[in-house]
Amino acid sequence: MSESRPAVVYGLLWAGLSLARALGRAGVRVTGIASDPNDFGLRSRYLADRHLTTEEDDERTLSLLRDAAGAGRPILFPERDENVHFVLRR
């Protein structure tokens, strides 16, 4: 992986999968967080880590986002309006 900042893609449908692929191909370490086990981006080989939450479990989602940040400063990419809304509320 490159020396670039890691990325967290929150939502792994069409846009999230495309983003994870583009970043992963560029050598960026990508963590994916999805709220549905059928989000096909969960299967991407470009994800270094992948996590599953539910839309109803705000505390788990927030915990996963914090854990993904770790001690670093990853760039967060919320995929859908619902994900942006969640981030803005928190």
CATH number at residue 32: 3.40.50.720
Percent of the chain surpassing pLDDT 70: 97
Compute the average pLDDT of residues 30-35. Answer: 97
pLDDT band with cut points at 50, 70 and 90 for residue 53 = very high
Kindly indicate the confidence band of residue 17, based on its pLDDT and cuts at 50, 70 and 90.
Answer: very high
Residue 11: per-residue pLDDT: 97
pLDDT per position as a tens digit, 69-88: 886 789 999 999 999 999 99
> Per the domain annotation, does 34 fall within a domain?
yes
Asked whether residue 27 is domain-assigned, the answer is: yes
Cα three-residue angle 80-84-87, rounded to 5 degrees: 140
Q: Is residue 1 part of a domain?
A: no
Strand order in the sheet with 7-10: 49-52, 30-34, 7-10, 75-78
Q: How many domains does the chain have?
A: 1
* Per-residue pLDDT at 2 exceeds 70: no
Cα–Cα distance, 23 to 3 (Å, whole number): 13
Tokens of 30: 């990508």
24 part of a folded domain: yes
Instruction: Residue 36: give the domain boundaries.
Output: 7-89
